């Protein structure tokens, strides 16, 4: 099974949300429908801007926790490295 660490944004350089899931398509759809999380619903954060696949859920969860602790500039740099738009 594959797991994904993903970043959603409200817009370019907008509000960011980092999560982990085993079904990226379903999870992004939930965020867009307003059922993904209260945070993404409140701040309208539903644009997928970055993702990393993992085979091991423990590695995915650790990566999510690590990325959440990063300064905002590091998160934006990570996104723009793979997704300059």
Q: What is the pLDDT of residues 21-37, one digit of tens each?
A: 999 999 999 999 999 89
Fold of 3-82: GIY-YIG endonuclease (3.40.1440)
Asked whether the beta carbons of 47 and 24 are under 8 A apart, the reply is: no
Residue 66: band (very low, low, confident or very high) from pLDDT cuts 50, 70, 90: very high
Q: Are strands 3-9 and 47-54 parallel, antiparallel or unpaired?
A: antiparallel
List the domain boundaries for the chain: 3-82
* Model confidence at 38: pLDDT above 90: yes
């Amino acid at each position: 099974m594959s797991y994904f660490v993903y970043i959603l944004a409200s817009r370019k350089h907008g509000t960011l949300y980092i999560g982990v899931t085993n079904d990226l398509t379903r999870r992004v759809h939930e965020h867009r429908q307003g059922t993904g999380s209260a945070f993404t619903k409140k701040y309208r954060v539903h644009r997928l801007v970055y993702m990393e696949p993992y085979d091991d859920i423990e590695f995915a969860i650790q990566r999510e926790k690590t990325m959440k602790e990063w300064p905002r500039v590091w998160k934006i740099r990570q996104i723009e490295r793979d997704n300059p738009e």
